[in-house]
Amino acid sequence: MKFEYRKLSIVLIAIYSACMIFTAYELFQLPDDLVYGSQVLSAGDLKATGFVFVKLYVVVGITMIVGMAALATSLNKKSSEVIYVEKKKSASEQSSKEDEENINSHTLDISAVKDIIASESDKDKLAKEILTHLCKHLDAGIGAFYTTSKEGDKRIVEMQASYALILGESETIKFEYGEGLVGQVALEEKTLIIDDIPEGYVKIVSGLGSATPTHLLVVPVKNGDSLYGVVEIASFTNLGKADAEMVAAAFKQLTQKLFGTAKTTKKTADTKEVKEGDLNKKGGE
């Protein structure tokens, strides 16, 4: 409807402009019409009434200018209303997109992850099982889990577990902080969601051939305030914020078990050392 108003304003301005041109022409022809056409005035009378025509020109000119300004203002007002409608529509579309993402996002039963953690004690196998569970749950084609470490002065993330990657058993992948997408996530400790993976970045291979996935999710895994690792998942299906939070929640269970166990072991060792120290002290006495 507002577009119709805008078109109407443009048509009115065009008609008004044509009328102004015609009116101006008639005004300049008026003295000749009065003298030669209707013969109401003589050529001598025309000079005496010259100020009257000047006054008429001024009044009509001002009227035309005011009318044009009014129509132009009306047109600008309609244009601003159209912009407002477009912005409102864009906001509505954005909200609809977010709602659709929430509806289509996967949901994870965290108890299933806890069952995996309870049934496995080896940390490498545990990471692989959690990664595999997530990839299958997300319908992802490829997954990798990297842990942080140091090589001299360099901070790196090195792959500890993978899902459907074409690598030999002895092969691994590692990045320095800031190197590649995985290294960048490790450096910034911020989740990265890509909906258009560059061609050749990674390929999903099956017995029928290979293809580049369309969606990529790279999530930092933290233990408290420290970075423990990075999860990378590639898929042909959409991956959103809800999926990233789900991945982070699943691997949080892993860090809680690993570091919880480490704290318990350390506490037991410290207690044992204290007891042995007391016994040695008593024996010495």
In contact, 246 and 217? CB cutoff 8 Å = no
CATH code for 110-272? 3.30.450.40
Tell me the per-residue pLDDT of 196-217, one tens digit each, with 9 for 90 and over.
Answer: 877 767 666 555 556 778 889 9
Model pLDDT, residue 100: 47
Tell me the per-residue pLDDT of 86-132, one tens digit each, with 9 for 90 and over.
Answer: 444 444 455 554 544 444 445 777 888 899 999 988 988 999 999 99
CA 29 to chain centre: 65
Q: Where are the domains of the chain?
A: 2-104, 110-272
Contacts of 75 (CB under 8 A, 6+ apart): 6, 9, 10, 13
Q: Is 227 left (phi over 0), alpha (psi -120 to 50) or beta?
A: beta
In contact, 175 and 187? CB cutoff 8 Å = no
SS3 (DSSP) at 197: coil
Instruction: Quote the percentage of the chain above a pLDDT of 70.
Output: 64
Q: What are phi and psi of 209, to 5 degrees?
A: 140, -160
Predicted structure pTM score? 0.55
Residue 253 has pLDDT above 80, yes or no: yes
